[in-house]
A and B are shown apart, each in its own frame.
Chain A
Amino acid sequence: MENRIRHARTHITRNEDLIFERTSPGKSGVELPPLDVPSVPADQLLGSDFHRDEVEGFPEVSELEVIRHFTRLSTWNYGVDTGLYPLGSCTMKYNPRVNEVVARLDGLATDHPYAPEALAQGCLRVLHETARCLAEITGMDAVSLQPAAGAQGELTGILMIRACLAERGNPRKYILIPDSAHGTNPASATISGYEVRNIKSNAQGCVDLAELDRALTEDVAGLMLTNPNTLGIFEAKIAEICELVHSRGGLVYMDGANMNALVGVARPADFGVDVMHLNLHKTFTTPHGGGGPGSGPVAVKRFLEPYLPLPVVEKTADGTYRLDSSRPKSIGRVRAFCGNFGMAVRALAYILANGYEGLRQTTEDAVLNANYVMTRLKDLYDLPYDQPCMHECVFSDRRQAARGVRTMDIAKRLIDYGFHPYTTAFPLIVSGALMIEPTESAGKTELDEFIEAMRAIAEEIEEDPQFVLKAPYSTRVSRLDEATAARKPILRWKP
């Protein structure tokens, strides 16, 4: 009975061939019925402009080969449905299946974006209700669901700030951004026509009020900040920060990427934020990754409402809904139709399924989980900003780096323990950052397994750093040459 299996089938252990490498000439996945009309060459019928002949060598494979190829590839994925996905700053939480059931209801799934308003009342109501809920959660007065992702929400928000200040007489020149910010913040400000000025964090990892005071010249259009910040720390002086910016005629933009730490507990409008975005694909359980698609609604105070992107869903006096496209001060369209409508449906399903109490509980669980991980790992991993965290915690690889092992190496080894890596090397203000966000989706057993894995890796590094430097061992491929892939990319769609 020994060695009955000499070797496993290749798809169990090895890389999958490209579908082009599986081709065998003449094979076809479909069989068309014989023509009952005379055949005409396609280019003759369509005109040469519409006939493509530059694509050669399409794979010739059977239907079953196609199915197996893509099914195998799909099993290589690691997603929130596979296990813990503690990718800091990304809020990779469970996407409840009830969201999918609701999004597939006939009236919602099959309505056409060009349907007349009278036939789209249900969909318009979903948009209106979702915006109303998000306004209530953020404390803001008006919401646009159009932006397709967080960064587009940032761009939309900064363009509104610009439009508002321009109307007051001067759009100004600079946007201030803390050095702990997401990289998208400076990009959005720059594309909106502003120059970015960085402000350094203080020893607690928060905005330094004196530094902010110095930086706030009369040329500053506003401050763009994330709260809690990317260290997972709540800006305790946020009300003073907003007041200071306002006193110099600037506006405050909040990056809502970390809203999973605030929903149901604190409202950005109350602490002074003028405009912000939300990530439905983070905080509100719509799919994140795999193409999402994302959704980054923007929420504003009343005075910015005239600048919201078009169209705006309105509820009329007789209780029906309509799309308002006649707002002369609007920054215009930012996205086709009404944004990624299906994501609004899922977010609304999530909000209504949880209710006030549920949403608050979610936030509390997310914060509790992050603090549990932080507390149980800080004896082995260096914690540069040692204080209670919000929804995520950030360690430094300083102790492990002394043995030659960096955050990326620890992340690679974590794959062998069956977990998706945490976020590596971000935020940049922590040298060799390990950014861990367990979210509320993780139960205690799973958190304990993760903690044990991290503790075991720390021990391995003490005993045999070389072993960790060669991880992962359990995957089909191990250390990919990321540097050469970026320096000399070979981009092609066939072998």
Chain B
Amino acid sequence: MTDLTRFTIAQARDHLRKKDFTALELTDAHITAMEKHRHLNAFITETADLARERAKASDFRIKNSDAKPLEGIPLGIKDLFCTQGVQTTAGSHILKGFTPNYESTVSQKLRDAGSVMLGKLNLDEFAMGSSNMTSHFGNVVNPWKARGHSDDLAPGGSSGGSAAAVSAHLAMGATGTDTGGSIRQPAAFCGIVGVKPTYGRCSRWGVVAFASSLDQAGPMTRTVRDAAIMLNVMTGYDPKDSTSAAMAMPDVEAVLGKGVKGMKIGLPKQYRPDGLDAEVGTLWDKGAQWLKEAGAEVIEIDLPHTKYALPTYYIVAPAEASSNLARYDGVRYGLRVAGNSLDEMYAKTRAAGFGPEVKRRILIGTYVLSAGYYDAYYLKAQKVRALIAQDFVQAFAKVDAILTPTAPTAAFGLNDKVVDPVAMYLNDVFTVPASLAGIPGSSIPAGLTAHGLPLGLQVLTKRWDEETLFRVCQVLEDSAKFPGLIGES
């Protein structure tokens, strides 16, 4: 990495204001890194020229003492956010070449805050996946390697391009979206911080929908403070999204350093199944110990419906997806494969446009909503979802935050697991319950496996309590002293 790409967002913000270097210099350094690391396949679309233009505009504002909160900070945008005039693909062949005439609320907010978009980041197709291997534009390579091995590893998913780009210092931060763990799991795999705020904090307007009742945008950064800086900008009520929350976002950067003294932290016993990876279990214990040392009380808690979370998720999310993806029909935009009738055009377009994982989920979703099965699957899943949310309500009556591992393992090899979708789904077993409950969650890089691969710890708090979330994350970050990616430069 070059000198300028080593900084955190918070550090760069100060340097830019002190005019130690210009936004253009900072952006150029990242463009160079982006171009040098194309083998990671983190970006689907690079927007270097646009980035330079915006960086120059930032320098102008800095010169006029008109700097905004993220002025001149080079960021990557997950290619699920619609960006005006810049191709938006959702990682799918069916949207290849689609260029929106509008900007998503979240990316607009980041733009208005002065940030510089470097490009659009790779992801699992329509955010469906935990490996970034379902992208039509090819898999992303995790910048981390197991010690002594050269095998390429999965960056996790679906925000794999975001995690890889931030981890490898190609971008100072990135947007992600999280439906069942798509921010937290890749953050853990790539050794960075990922935050999924409370459902309703970030507007979904202009974000290509996967599962509307679960999708939530959030920041992916190298430090907790950087995540706070980004999240402060990304959140807020949006009248264009009926599910966005009409409540003020607390300043989460301001709470950093307040510590966890006197807090109660819960460790859910259901998250320690037989056969839990020993290194994951050990790191979890270590995390609990750090919080204790910082003055928190740690207790075991019960989340009795945890085991139903994954099956529930794999009914609710595909059901919504099957309907959300019906609009990709070849009629108005994106791919069209001609046919002799309307039905034939639909069939050919969707056969050619969607990859196998997306097709699988559309089929599952169509099935669980169909006449005669709705009550047994979708309706039952909604009831179980309510019970899972209730588990958390009861837990948060006793504790301020919950600590768990983020994922059951460290990053796996790009050639592993592909054959068995259910094994892949198990990656989300620790992240999915919080998604179903709509509560905020984050992953903090907390340690390395014996092979030198990052592991993350997940922090969960009750709805709208991002302040507590960030206080706990900060303590874990301080205690873990996670080295970050030093191998690749």
Chains A and B belong together in one complex: no
Question: A residues engaging B (CB < 8 A)?
Answer: none
